[in-house]
Amino acid sequence: MFDTTKMGISAVALCAALAGAAFAEGDAIKIGYVTGLSGACSSLSEDGLNGSKLAVDELNAKGGILGREIELIVRDSQTKPDEGGKQARELVASEDVDVLTGVCSSAVLLAVQAVAAEANVPHYAVIGSTQKANVEAFRPNFWQIQANATMEAYAAAEFVAKNADWKRIQPMGYDYEWGHTSVESFAERLKELRPDIEISNPIFIKLGDNNMGPYVAPALSTKPDAIYAAIFGGGLVNLIKQGQGFGLFQRSNLVTLLTVDALQSMGDAMPKERLFGIARAPFFALEKDAAFESFIDSYRTAYDEYPTDWAINGYDGMMIYAAAVEAAGSTETDALMPEVYGGTFDGLRGKGLTVRAFDGQMDAPAYVGAINFDPAFPFPTMKDVEVFAGGPLMWSEEKIQTLRDAAR
């Protein structure tokens, strides 16, 4: 079957490729970027990648990190844990990457973290936010730059608790690990803050179900003052759109996740009031200093759109990594991690952010605001955005230890 000419050509090509790699060796800092460019995560992943790319370009324009060029090596996890794990392993083994990042889905995040922990390669999360990466799956090679799932649910509970006239709350969530964790954490924190509030039995929505009517009607039948919904993406769009036919926004309020991509995709179908959103990095509510303005300008020039939360976190994540490497003077895990866990970082989402060594969680803020129609933007945004500092939302080290012991 094999033809010698072909083999000869491939051998030459292979040598050329290896020679190219050898030239770059020790020179470039390699970022292994595993993200779900296809599959359920594709739109979030693309935004995250855009933000990361912009950061890499800016860093390279300033001479890279430690004078070394940054090379972004992107792999598609297809939003599948086994594929993501495989890609991560390949990046570690044959590309010898200095850091892994980019993962979107929680399941893929855990798969990539397993590979990174085994190979002792630094790994940071920019989109995926399962708290498992901070608890059971945590190894001191990992950090999470955004509020994780439980912190976000706590922020929602804090926000709901402040509305004194809300007496009955109906929780809803996607029927898988994240939805259940979010609903449980939300209910737990809300009970602490407001023992007088009645929390109805949660309703769980089948993942991928497009018809929200059969869930909305039972949710409204408990006559809640507000519904907390731990869902996102298409399901969220459907809930908001279809909910209006059931009078959701006349009969109740909705508190849910509203990242910029969700705000953009709703268009005219967005209700005018009684909708409150939790966000990770809403560009319209961030502090507008010089660094921010220049980021917005270059992002809009590069991609002709406003950055979503995912793009901002991709950008921030890369900048935090760069700062830690600069401080450590090295990309080696043993030198880098003390800088990650000991440093303070300034980013688009605030200044002086720190990462807790116990679980790799950054005290990143969570944002909650009310729906708003600002003529300055071609899509709805949020007003009266409250910033919940990350620190008080984080689980205590004792609680995490208990959970880790239980998981063992």
Partner 1 sequence: MIWVQLVNGLMEGMMLFLIASGLTLIFGVSRIVNFAHGSLYMLGAFFTYGLVPLIAPGTIAGFFAAVLLAGIGVALVGLIFEIVALRRVYGSADLMQLIITVALVLVIRDVVRWIWGPNSLSVPMPDALMGALIIGDNFFPIFPFVIFGAGLVVMLVMVVVIRFTRAGILLRAGTDDRGMAALLGINEKLIFTTVFATGALLAGIAGGLAAPYGDVNYLLDTTVIVTAFIVVVIGGLGNLFGAFAAAMLVGITKAMGILYFPRLSMVLIFLIMAAVLLARSLGRQGGPSR
Closest distance of CB 187 from partner 1, Å: 16
Strand pairing of 29-35 and 99-101? parallel
Q: In this complex, which beta carbon is closest to partner 1, that of residue 113 or of residue 256?
A: 256
Distance CA 345, CA 274 (A): 35
Q: Is 301 in the site for partner 1 (CB under 8 A)?
A: no
Q: Is 34 in the site for partner 1 (CB under 8 A)?
A: no
Alpha-carbon 317 to chain mean position: 10
Distance CA 82, CA 382 (A): 38
Q: Is 251 in the site for partner 1 (CB under 8 A)?
A: yes
Kindly tell me which residue out of 43, 298, 354, 401 binds partner 1, with binding defined by CB under 8 A: 43
Instruction: Tell me the H-state helices in 195-308.
Output: 213-221, 233-243, 248-251, 260-266, 290-303
Closest distance of CB 290 from partner 1, Å: 31
Q: In this complex, which beta carbon is closest to partner 1, that of residue 190 or of residue 236?
A: 236
Over the range 164-184, which residues count as b (16 or more CB within 10 Å of their CB) and which as e?
eebeebbbbbbeeebbebbbb
Report residue 141: phi and psi, to 5°: -115, 5
Closest distance of CB 178 from partner 1, Å: 17
Distance CA 158, CA 348 (A): 23
Q: Is 191 in the site for partner 1 (CB under 8 A)?
A: no
Closest distance of CB 190 from partner 1, Å: 21
Closest distance of CB 273 from partner 1, Å: 15
Q: Is 267 in the site for partner 1 (CB under 8 A)?
A: yes
Q: Which range in 264-272, 321-329, 334-342, 358-366 contacts partner 1 by CB under 8 A?
A: 264-272
Q: Is 183 in the site for partner 1 (CB under 8 A)?
A: no
Kindly tell me which residue out of 86, 139, 180, 241 binds partner 1, with binding defined by CB under 8 A: 241
Collapsing DSSP to helix, strand or coil, 160 comes out as: helix
Collapsing DSSP to helix, strand or coil, 1 comes out as: coil
Please classify residue 368 by burial: count the beta carbons closer than 10 Å to its beta carbon, then call 0-12 exposed, 13-18 middle and 19+ buried.
Answer: buried
Q: In this complex, which beta carbon is closest to partner 1, that of residue 42 or of residue 401?
A: 42
Tokens read off for 57? 């370009």
- Residue 355 pairs in a beta bridge with 362
Q: Is 42 in the site for partner 1 (CB under 8 A)?
A: yes
Question: Mask: binding to partner 1, 199-238, rule CB under 8 A, as x and -?
Answer: ----xx-x-x-xx-xxx-xx-xx-----------xx--xx
Q: Is 245 in the site for partner 1 (CB under 8 A)?
A: yes
Closest distance of CB 179 from partner 1, Å: 13
Closest distance of CB 163 from partner 1, Å: 23
Sign of CA dihedral 376, 230, 351, 304: negative
Over the range 101-140, which residues count as b (16 or more CB within 10 Å of their CB) and which as e?
bbbbbbbbbbbbbbbbbebebbbbbbbbbbbbbbbebbeb
Q: In this complex, which beta carbon is closest to partner 1, that of residue 265 or of residue 330?
A: 265
Closest distance of CB 173 from partner 1, Å: 12
Q: Which range in 50-58, 153-161, 180-188, 267-275 contacts partner 1 by CB under 8 A?
A: 267-275
Chain residues that interact with partner 1, rule: CB under 8 A = 39-40, 42-43, 46, 203-204, 206, 208, 210-211, 213-215, 217-218, 220-221, 233-234, 237-238, 241-242, 244-247, 250-251, 261, 264-269
